[in-house]
Amino acid sequence: MLEIEDLCVRFRRHRAPMLTVLEHLDLAAPSGAVTGLCGASGAGKSLIAAAIAGTLPRNAEATGRITVGGKIPAPQTVALAPQGLDALDPLARIGTQLARFARLGGTSVDAPDLLSRLGLAPRVLDAWPHELSGGMARRACLATALATSARWLIADEPTSGLDAASADRIMALMADLAAEGYGIIVISHDLPRLSSVSRTVTVLEAGRPVETAPGKAFSGDGAALAHPFSRRLWQAQEVGASC
Ligand SMILES: Nc1ncnc2c1ncn2[C@@H]1O[C@H](COP(=O)(O)OP(=O)(O)OP(=O)(O)O)[C@@H](O)[C@H]1O
């Protein structure tokens, strides 16, 4: 179990008061399941990912407790596939980067097999990041995180910029990895796909968690959701999807 207790994040600013951007987050993410995080832009989702992975910006101050299996996680326990595609090294071919991440995790990687699970052809191994489309780069980012063989993965917006079939494939992969025993946390604006694979989805509104609901509560008109903000978020996507 990956547990977050009372996580708060605030930023130091030049000649300005501290800015609080995340307040009192509790989260329990079991291994063997997908745990979803959603919310409006700027709600604090990527900062949660960074806090778990230990990559918060230098001007951030975090309080609270993050544990995996009851212990403070060692480096490399949790792999992060960040939202920004600039996480890829522009000066290394994708194959080199996958091998590098595998070494970081003290393991080796069957790179063609990994790419194929993400719907990428083996030729991508020889490609430089600038030669990839946005969707291919997103999947290459995910591949670098998976290459570490960490048993915990946080995927921040893994379907952003992907066509519908590729997005379906990525969310199905998240579910498959969970079925293989991985602990998976997925951050996504794509609520229909996110909720379809998640055991629970935590909804954030402006830095505050408002509700943790079972994935299946995101259906129909959202009547099974407890908080009005969650219902609005869900209904907005459903209306968008049916237009
Ligand atoms: N280095 C920083 N210094 C100051 N504020 C920051 C910094 N990084 C992020 N923030 C602020 O923290 C808040 C949360 O940012 P975060 O990136 O976690 O949002 P998000 O929920 O992931 O949004 P999106 O869905 O748009 O990716 C935002 O208001 C953002 O402006």
Tell whether ligand 1 has an atom less than 6 A from the beta carbon of residue 83: yes
pLDDT tens for residues 159-193? Answer: 988 899 989 989 999 999 999 999 999 999 999 99
Predicted pLDDT of residue 239: 57
Tell whether ligand 1 has an atom less than 6 A from the beta carbon of residue 21: yes
User: For the residues 207-221, what does the mean pLDDT come to?
Assistant: 96
Prediction ipTM score: 0.96
Predicted pLDDT of residue 241: 57
Tell whether ligand 1 has an atom less than 6 A from the beta carbon of residue 84: no
User: For the residues 68-75, what does the mean pLDDT come to?
Assistant: 91
What's the CA-to-centroid distance between 227 and ligand 1, angstroms? 23
Tell whether ligand 1 has an atom less than 6 A from the beta carbon of residue 56: no
Residue type, 81: A
Residue 154: name the closest of 237, 52, 71 by CA: 52
Give residue limits of the domains in the chain. Answer: 1-77+151-159+178-243, 86-150
CATH 3.40.50.300 for the 1-77+151-159+178-243 domain, yes or no: yes
- For the chain, the maximum distance between any two Cα atoms, rounded to a whole number of angstroms, is 51
Predicted pLDDT of residue 74: 86
Residue with tokens 């995080």: 37
With left for phi above 0 and alpha for psi between -120 and 50, is residue 168 left, alpha or beta? alpha
Closest CA to ligand 1's atom 26: 41
pLDDT tens for residues 119-142? Answer: 899 999 999 999 999 889 999 999
Q: How many CB atoms lie within 10 A of CB 151?
A: 17
8 A C-beta contact, residue 1 and residue 63: no
Give the DSSP letter of residue 217.
Answer: G
Q: Could you write out the DSSP letters of every residue in 13-36?
A: ETTEEEEEEEEEEEEEE-TTEEEE
Whether the predicted model's global pTM rises above the 0.80 cut: yes
pLDDT tens for residues 6-49? Answer: 999 999 988 889 999 999 999 999 999 999 999 999 999 999 99
Tell whether ligand 1 has an atom less than 6 A from the beta carbon of residue 45: yes
